[in-house]
Structure 1
Amino acid sequence: MQIRARKSNIANNYTTSKNNVTFDLPHSLFNTYQLRLAIITFFLSFITQGQAQQLSFSKTHVEQGYSFKYQWLDHNKVGQAISFTLNQEGLFDRFRNFKTYQNSYAQKTIIRRIKREMQRNPIAGIQIFYRQQHDGFLIEVNGLDSDKVAKSYQTLARVESEVTQKYLQDNYYQAFTNHEQVNGIKVDHVSIANNSVADLKSLKPLILDHVSIQNIRKVTNYVLSFVQSIPYSTLESRITSSGAGFNPPLQVLWENQGDCDSKMTLTAALLRALMPRIDMTLIYIDGHAFIGIDIPGQANEVTIEHNDVKYLLAEPTGPALLPLGTLAPESELAINQGQYIAQDYHEVLSNEISKQ
C-alpha cells in the first residue's frame, strides 16, 4: 500500500495569499484605508504637540571608526547635544547578512536543508519526494508499511519545524501573527536590538552625564527626544516590503533617518544598554510600532498590562515630541480597542510573541 502526504506546511505557513501574508515591520504611520481620518488626526495632533527638531547632524571618519555629532531640542524645547564614536564593525559588519525576506528563496533553502537532513538519517522502507509548486513545496512519502509512513511524516514535520526556525533565526526573522490573526514573517526586532547593545554601550556614560540612572523617566525621555529628532523616513508598506527599508539601530544613526520599526528598535537597544535589567515590550499596531517600559505610570499616562507586567508606553518615531506615557491619538485608540500585539523584550530574552 502506498500513502501520499499532503502539502508541506512550508507552503501553508510562509507564502503570500489572501489570508496568509509575508510582511515586515510597520513602515507607514497610517493604513491606506484610514488615510482621510489619519490625515485629520495627524494634523490635529501637531496643533497640540510640538515637533521634534534636529538642529544639526554630522559624521566624520576617525581612526576608531566614525564620530557622530547630534544637536536637537528636547520635550521642553531645551537644546541637547551628544557626540560619540561607533566602530566600523558595528556599523558595517554586524548585520551584513541581513537581507530582505524572499519567500521563494527561503522555501528553496529550507527544502534543501530538509533533504540534507533526511539523507543523513534515512528511513528504511520509504521514499520521499519533493515537488515544487507555484505556492510552495509538496512533500510526499511512499511506502508499503503504513505505520512507517506515518512515523516518517512525524519525522518530516519535526525536521521542517526545526529547519525553518533555524533559518528564520539565522536571518533575523520570525513568524508573526497580528491582532487580526493574519500570519506572516517579520523582522526579529528583539534579536536585532539585543545584538546591537554592545555597539551602543559607549553612549551610556555620555547620556548619564546629562541624566541620572536613578531617574528612569529622565533617562527614557532623553533617549526618546533624541530618537524622535532623527528624521522620519516613510518606507514601503509592511505588508509587501518583507523587510525592505528596515534599518538596524546603527544604520539608523549612520543614515540619520528611520521609520517607526527601525526607530523603535534603536530606542529599545539604547534603553537596554542604559538599563540592562529593565523589562520592555515592543508594541505592534496596524502600520505602526512603539515601545512599553516597566515604569509606574502617572495620571492620564497610557499603560498596558502584558504577561503580568504593567508597561508605560512611549512613541519613539516622531516627529511629534511625545514624552513617556503619551501616545499619538491613533496609537492610543488602537491600545484602547485592544488592536495590538506585544512582544516581550526582557533581560532573559523570549522569542514568544503573544497578544495582550
Structure 2
Amino acid sequence: MIRTSIFTLSCWLLLWSALPAAASLQLQRQQLTDGNQLFSYRWQQNGQRVDFSFQLPEQNTQQHLRSFRRYSPQLADTYMRQALQQELAKLNAPMLRVDALSAGNPLPIRVTAQTTQDAQQYRQHLTQHMLQARQDYLTSIYHTELSINPGRQVIMVDHQRILADSLQDLLPVAEALQQKFPYTTTRELSQFLLDWLQRIPYQRLDSRSNSSAAGFLPPLQLLQQHRGDCDSKVVLMATLLRLLLPDVSLVILYLPNHAVLGIGMQSQSSDQQLRLDGQNFVLADPTGPALQPIGEIAERYQLYLQPGIVNYRKL
C-alpha cells in the first residue's frame, strides 16, 4: 500500500508598499515603457540607508513557472484510474479482473486472472503504469515524492527543480547584485540577501496537511506579490546564490512546518552549522520578520538540526 503525506499596469504606474517600522522596507514598483518592471527597494540597516533595484521583463513574471499548481490527491487518483482503464483496454484479457483494495483509492489493486502467475504479472504491469501516471502528474505541477524518516513518503514541492527552472528568469536580479557587489564574499552576499528577504512580508503557511504548495510562491511570483513563506524565500535566496556563486554547495533543511537554507561556506565560531555528507553548512533563515544574521536559527528549531534527524535535500 502506498502511504504518503503532504509535507505543503499602465506605463509608469507607481506602487509604494510601506511595511511596519520594524521591517523598515519600502518597495517602489514602476512599469517602464520598454515592457520591463522596475523593482526598487529601500531599508535601514545599522543606521545606514540601503538601496537595491533591478528590472524584470513583465512577460517573464507572467509566464514564470505557470504550470506550478497545488497537489490534488483526487486529481492524482483520477490520472491513475485513467491509466488503469487505458492499459486494461490494450491488454484485452477477458479473464482479467482488477479491484481496488482500499475504498476510494486506486492503489493497491487485487488482480484475478487464469493463473496465479498471470495475476502477479498483470498486477505488476498495471501498478507500474498507474504509478507512472501519478509521477507524470507530480512532474507536471513541480512536485516530487521523497523519502523522509524511515518508512515515510511525502509529496512536496520540488524545490530543486524550481530552482533550476528559475535561473534564467532571475538573471536580471543576479546581475543587479553583481553590479552592487563586484567584489564580495559568500558571507557578505548571503547576509545582504537575508537583510532584504527577511523584510519582505511573511505569508503564514496554510495547513500543509491540505496542500504541499500551500503558501509557496515561485521566485518571480514572490517578488511580484511582495510576500512569501519560509521555503519560498529559501528557494529565491538559493537561486540567487547559485547564479552568483555556482561552486557553493546548498541544501534545504526541512523542519516541522519550516525550512531553512544551509550554505557550504567558511564558518565562524558563533555560527550554527550542520555537517551533512562530510561537509559543513552554515545555516541561514530568510523567512523573517525576525532579522536573524547568517548562522543564527530560532531556538525552537535547534532540536531538529541534528545529523540523522534533520531531513534535507541538496539544491
Q: Common fold, TM-score beyond 0.5?
A: yes
Say what the alpha-carbon RMSD is for the aligned residues. 2.5
In the TM superposition, residue 333 of structure 1 has moved relative to its aligned partner by 3.0
1:94-133 to structure 2, matched below 5 A, reads 94-117=64-87, 119-120=89-90, 122=91, 127-129=96-98, 131=100
In the alignment, what sits opposite 2:12? none
In the alignment, what sits opposite 1:160? 130
In the TM superposition, residue 128 of structure 1 has moved relative to its aligned partner by 4.4
Q: Secondary structure at the match of 1:292?
A: strand
Alignment length, in residue pairs?
301
Work out which structure has the larger RCO, using CA pairs closer than 8 Å and 6 or more positions apart in sequence.
1
In the alignment, what sits opposite 1:269? 239
> Aligned partners of 1:290 and 1:196: how far apart in 2?
19
Residues 285 and 339 of structure 1 are in contact (CA less than 8 Å); yes or no, is this contact kept in structure 2?
Answer: no
> Aligned partners of 2:151 and 2:282: how far apart in 1?
25
- Deviation readout 1:57-112 (Å, 9 max, x if unpaired): 021222323221111234x4532211112123431222222222111111111221
In the TM superposition, residue 150 of structure 1 has moved relative to its aligned partner by 1.3
> Aligned partners of 2:264 and 2:300: how far apart in 1?
22
> Aligned partners of 1:180 and 1:225: how far apart in 2?
37
> Aligned partners of 1:254 and 1:204: how far apart in 2?
16
- Deviation readout 1:97-154 (Å, 9 max, x if unpaired): 222211111111122124334544x275752435596441253322112222212222
329-338 or 290-299, larger mean C-alpha shift? 329-338
> Aligned partners of 2:86 and 2:278: how far apart in 1?
43
Matching residue's letter, 1:137: P
Q: Secondary structure at the match of 2:86?
A: helix
> Aligned partners of 1:72 and 1:337: how far apart in 2?
37
In the alignment, what sits opposite 2:174? 204
In the TM superposition, residue 178 of structure 1 has moved relative to its aligned partner by 4.4
Of residues 296, 302, 315, the one that matches 1:332 is 302
Residues 25 and 200 of structure 2 are in contact (CA less than 8 Å); yes or no, is this contact kept in structure 1?
Answer: no
In the TM superposition, residue 251 of structure 1 has moved relative to its aligned partner by 1.0
Of residues 250, 253, 261, the one that matches 1:280 is 250
1:72 paired with 2:49, answer no
Percent identity for Structure 1 against Structure 2:
28
In the TM superposition, residue 23 of structure 1 has moved relative to its aligned partner by 3.7
Q: Which has the higher helix share?
A: 1
> Aligned partners of 2:87 and 2:306: how far apart in 1?
47
Matching residue's letter, 1:298: Q
Q: Secondary structure at the match of 1:53?
A: coil
In the alignment, what sits opposite 1:13? 3
Structure 2 length normalisation: TM-score?
Answer: 0.85
Question: Which runs of 5 or more residues in structure 1 are unaligned?
Answer: 1-8, 15-20, 25-50, 346-356
Question: Which runs of 5 or more residues in structure 2 are unaligned?
Answer: 9-20
> Aligned partners of 2:84 and 2:57: how far apart in 1?
38
Residues 290 and 315 of structure 1 are in contact (CA less than 8 Å); yes or no, is this contact kept in structure 2?
Answer: yes
Distance change (3 Å), C-alpha of 1:108 and 1:64: same
In the alignment, what sits opposite 2:185? 215
1:1-356 to structure 2, matched below 5 A, reads 9=1, 12-14=2-4, 21-24=5-8, 53-62=23-32, 63-74=34-45, 76-117=46-87, 119-120=89-90, 122=91, 127-129=96-98, 131=100, 134-137=103-106, 139-179=109-149, 182-212=152-182, 215-336=185-306, 339-345=309-315
- Deviation readout 1:325-350 (Å, 9 max, x if unpaired): 111112223214864211111xxxxx
169-178 or 296-305, larger mean C-alpha shift? 169-178
Structure 1 length normalisation: TM-score?
Answer: 0.76
Matching residue's letter, 1:60: Q
In the TM superposition, residue 260 of structure 1 has moved relative to its aligned partner by 0.9
> Aligned partners of 1:182 and 1:143: how far apart in 2?
32
Matching residue's letter, 2:98: F
